[in-house]
Amino acid sequence: MTQKDQRGLAMTGASARAAELYEQALWEFRCYVEDPLATMEQAIEDSPGFVLGHAYKAALYLLSTEAGGFAPGRAALDAAAALPANERESGHVAALQHLAAGHWHEAGRAFEEVTIAHPTDLMALQCGQLIDFYTGEARTMRDRIARARPAWSPSMTGYHGLLSLAAFGLEEAGHYAEAEAAGREAVALEPRDGWGQHAVAHVLEMQCRTGDGIAWMRADTEAWSRNSIFAVHNWWHLGLFHLELGEMDEVLALFDGPIFGARSTVMLDLIDASAMLWRLELRGLPVGQRWQELADLWLPAIAGNRYAFNDIHAMMAFVGAGRTAAQRQVIEALEAQRREDDDNGRIMAPLGEAVARGLMAFGQEDYAGCLRHLRPVRNHAGRFGGSHAQRDVIDLTMIEAALRGGDAGLARALVNERAARRPESPLTRLMATRVAGQMATIAA
């Protein structure tokens, strides 16, 4: 039993109903709305021999970086591997087997092979770019979509998703004008495309176009937040724009409302909550019991973690809440991860451990120690994943550590560096004023 998807690609073991559900799940995943996993479960129930149904289920679990997702992801992958499959589908299974083994880069290359042969395979393109994101491969994030783009046309189902993938890859590679155009077109075609919405937000953040960013995010919040599994992250982006302007009441309202109000334990949502509270702490804003409530949610979530980027955000919460035992557990977990023979152990965990130790030192007011840990890795931090906007927290922490530790020379150098990239930034001007005050005190 073979059907074709709406881009003409064969799907082994799918009924017409399963093929329809697969398309629905693809739309949900590329927009980050509704529940693509539940939709794919329906397709598998309809057609137990649908190999891509099982593979897609495995991908959703394994790419979540949720520790609890590994076992069901592995089971779905084993089910896919036991089924008849064509060459393209076998490529999906092979890529996911690499991912399940912790070999992220090999998984990315395997999805690359699938999309070189089948450039309209939207699932492979999206999974591949997510792996690039997790491994900090900005060039590949851009280029795997660029290779496929000529095979697409605006009349094809899912074209908005291709554009939103292109937009984010272009943004992370520094091509801001092209990224913004692609992202805005994606959202115009499909207003619920949360990835395209977020890609444009990244452009506006990197260019410090704060007013444009607030306008973009607030223009149609219903479209990108309704039943969205990506809504917290997009609210977080809106919070960054208000934070840049020093509008702390707006930031706290967003944090207490759509960012953390639901007390979500989804890993991405916990990361966003930590990242926002840490930035507020760096600005010297008391956040009360918020750290304690967040740390309580991180304690069970971090158990069994296999991705260092998550660990450093757990460390933020534990430092903010003063949980010294939990801080030590994060360091011990990262030390254990370093002994694993996978990409996280060889590449991500060593960098993550350095950042985590730097955050812990900051919390202990050991600002020289914080800088000692962060300075050697700041230029390589992309290798443990995240976006430029997310990793900016390392630079912000270093500047604040230099200011609080009285290292006025380093603080001035770091602020000058930031001013060259963000000359219109109100936050950068505030930092420059603080540096000038320290330098004047030294001169006196």
User: Which residue from 43, 49, 59 is spatially nearest to 91, judged by alpha carbons?
Assistant: 59
Predicted local distance difference test score (pLDDT) of residue 2: 74
C-alpha 203: how far from its chain's center?
Answer: 15
Q: Give exposure, 274-297, as e/b (b: 16+ Cβ within 10 Å).
A: bbbbbbbbbeeeebeebbeebbeb
Would you say 61 and 73 are in contact if contact means Cβ atoms under 8 Å apart? Answer: yes
Which pTM was predicted?
0.97
pLDDT tens-digit series, residues 204-242 = 999 999 999 999 999 999 999 999 999 999 999 999 999
Contact 348, 383 (CB under 8 A): yes
Q: Mean pLDDT across the stretch 177-197?
A: 98
Q: Residue 332: pLDDT above 80?
A: yes
Helix (H, G, I), strand (E, B) or coil at 276: helix
How many other β-carbons are positioned within 10 Å of the β-carbon of residue 391? 18
Residue with tokens 């559900």: 21
Q: Is 378 exposed, middle or buried (0-12, 13-18, 19+ CB in 10 A)?
A: buried
H or E element in which residue 10 lies: strand 10-12
pLDDT at residue 441, rounded to an integer: 84
pLDDT tens per residue across span 264-319: 999 999 999 999 999 999 999 999 999 999 999 999 998 898 999 999 999 999 99
pLDDT (0 to 100) of residue 443: 76
Torsion angle, CA of 425/232/345/388, rounded to 10 degrees? -20
pLDDT reported for residue 1? 55
Instruction: Report the greatest alpha carbon distance in the chain.
Output: 83
- Gap between the Cα atoms of 51 and 321, Å rounded: 46
Q: Six-digit token pair at 59?
A: 């991908």
Rg (alpha carbons) of the chain, rounded to whole number = 22
